[in-house]
Amino acid sequence: MNKYIYHCLCHKKSVIFKMHLKYMFKGDLHMSLSNETIKTIKSTAPILEVHGATITTVFYKNMFINHPELLNMFNEVNQKQGKQQQALANLVYAAAKNIDQLETVLDEVKLVANKHRGLGVKPEHYPIVGKYLLLAIKEVLGDAATDDIMNAWEEAYGLIAQVFIDIEIDMYKEAEEQIGGWDGFKDFIVVDKVEESDIITSFYLKAKDGKVLADYATGQYLTVRATIPNEEYMQIRHYTISAAPGTDTYRISVKKETDCTPYGKVSTYLHDLVNVGDTIEASAPSGTFVLEDNNRPVTLISGGVGITPMLSMLETLAAKQSNQKINFVHAARNESVHAFHHHVNDLISTLPNAEYMYGYSDLNSLNHGDFKGYLTKETLEQAVKENAICYIVGPVPFMKHVANLLSELGLSDEDIRYELFGPAQDILEEVTA
């Protein structure tokens, strides 16, 4: 289970929020399902799981035909690559298998609820998803999906959806009612645009309405909605706020996705068409991958643009002159795409117990930094101090590799925290399987 992600929320309000959820899960909610329904769901969940991605693919296809307006919210590339279907299927079946103890999937639900809140998923959307999900189950299973099974799944979906809805209602309220908070998307003016490397550019944002900015926890992201010329639908993407809280701007740092064709839509749009003085829309900061507020050693490990949350964390530690043991490890392809190198060096030099290591995977690089090629166990051994919490963000193969090495070094899942810059998948379960 994804235990490692969530012990991070350090605010008092989050503790109260967790208590509320526990109460909710242990309270009346699952009692509303009959024993018969629970039995049916638990016995059919593994069968549906086998067809998981097929069912969700059929579900999305039919839902978008009937509700094309929802394409303003979903990322079509995640759909085409099947990542979104798989993430949804995994969670639905994990919830179904634990329908009488939903608190065991609380961490996953919270991760998704944060994304949903950023995207603008509302209670009225749930019956739409429910309708097309149930129709897809029926379509894929055919006669095997008896009325009893379908009724049980309708009830179970209603229960799972209600859990999301309740959590998200609280999140919307919190996002709007905090100082500087707002509901949905609002306009921001780009007040500065800075090239950080050949492929990463930062955008500094100020609220167009002139209001103070809502605070955020170090590591959280902004959800940006772009209306791109000649695109039929609006495009929504998440971008980590790459600076420490407490300034009068939000900074996001975006990698231009040009490795495959077609190029990434939003990143290319931001790089090529959005300049100082232009407006972009964003919803209030969100996310569960945040720096834990304690005195334990910290190792911040990033690959490529995964540096963004790590930089926010390092800036935060530097701002409070932390005497924690801090190790900042960064892997890039080569010098020209390596962003924030001097800035990281400067921050490290202001901290009493901080070390910085970087390396380039491109073996042709003349300068290869502190390690050549991929990160090795030996390199990580130096960077991970006793009792350290490790934060990892980067491309999925990089994260799997690093998580694997950290497990070999004896770190528990709890002490390996990571965030994916795409739909959820469990890199730890995969590496240790």
Residue 240 lies near ligand FAD (rule: CB under 6 A) = yes
> Parallel, antiparallel, or unpaired: how do β-strands 235-240 and 185-195 relate?
unpaired
Residue 262 interacting entry, from ligand HEM, ligand FAD, none, C-beta within 5 to 8 Å by type: ligand FAD
x-marked contacts with ligand FAD along 57-96 as a string, rule CB under 6 A:
------------------x-x--xx---------------
> Parallel, antiparallel, or unpaired: how do β-strands 298-303 and 279-286 relate?
unpaired
Instruction: Please tell me which residue in 126, 216, 269, 418 is annotated as part of the active site.
Output: 126
Q: Which is nearer to ligand HEM, 160 or 357 (CB)?
A: 160
Instruction: Please tell me which residue in 108, 155, 168, 315 is annotated as part of the active site.
Output: 168
Alpha-carbon distance of 168 to 115, in angstroms, equals: 10
126 a catalytic residue: yes
Q: At CB < 8 A and 24+ separation, what contacts does 136-143 make?
A: 136/55, 136/56, 136/58, 136/59, 136/62, 137/48, 137/55, 139/58, 140/51, 140/54, 140/55, 140/58, 141/47, 141/48, 141/51
Residue 164 interacting entry, from ligand FAD, ligand HEM, none, C-beta within 5 to 8 Å by type: ligand HEM
Least distance to ligand FAD from the beta carbon of 162, Å?
25
> Parallel, antiparallel, or unpaired: how do β-strands 371-372 and 354-360 relate?
parallel
Q: Which is nearer to ligand FAD, 267 or 365 (CB)?
A: 267
Name the nearest CA neighbour of 8 among 18, 21, 19. Answer: 18
Q: Return the H-helix or E-strand segment holding 94.
A: helix 83-97
DSSP 105: G
Name the nearest CA neighbour of 40 among 133, 159, 155, 138. Answer: 155
Q: Which is nearer to ligand HEM, 64 or 374 (CB)?
A: 64
Residue 117 lies near ligand FAD (rule: CB under 6 A) = no
Least distance to ligand FAD from the beta carbon of 97, Å?
26
Q: Which is nearer to ligand FAD, 384 or 394 (CB)?
A: 394
Least distance to ligand FAD from the beta carbon of 378, Å?
29
Joined together, the tokens standing for residue 135 give 């129709």
Alpha-carbon distance of 393 to 70, in angstroms, equals: 29
Among 84, 90, 202, 267, binds ligand FAD (CB under 6 A): 267
Binding site for ligand HEM (CB under 6 A): 70, 73-75, 78, 84, 87-88, 91-92, 112, 115-116, 119, 121, 125-126, 129, 160-161, 164, 423-424
Least distance to ligand FAD from the beta carbon of 377, Å?
28
Strands (DSSP E) contained in 277-325 are: 279-286, 298-303
> Do residues 29 and 20 lie in contact, with contact meaning Cβ atoms separated by under 8 Å?
no
172 a catalytic residue: no
> Do residues 189 and 279 lie in contact, with contact meaning Cβ atoms separated by under 8 Å?
yes
Applying the rule CB under 6 A, the residues between 308 and 327 that interact with ligand FAD are: 308
Residue 308 interacting entry, from ligand HEM, ligand FAD, none, C-beta within 5 to 8 Å by type: ligand FAD
Joined together, the tokens standing for residue 304 give 């490529």
Q: Which is nearer to ligand FAD, 119 or 159 (CB)?
A: 119
Would you name the residues annotated as active-site residues?
126, 168
Residues near ligand FAD (CB under 6 A) = 75, 77, 80-81, 221, 235, 237-240, 253-255, 257, 259-260, 262-268, 287, 305, 308, 419, 421-422
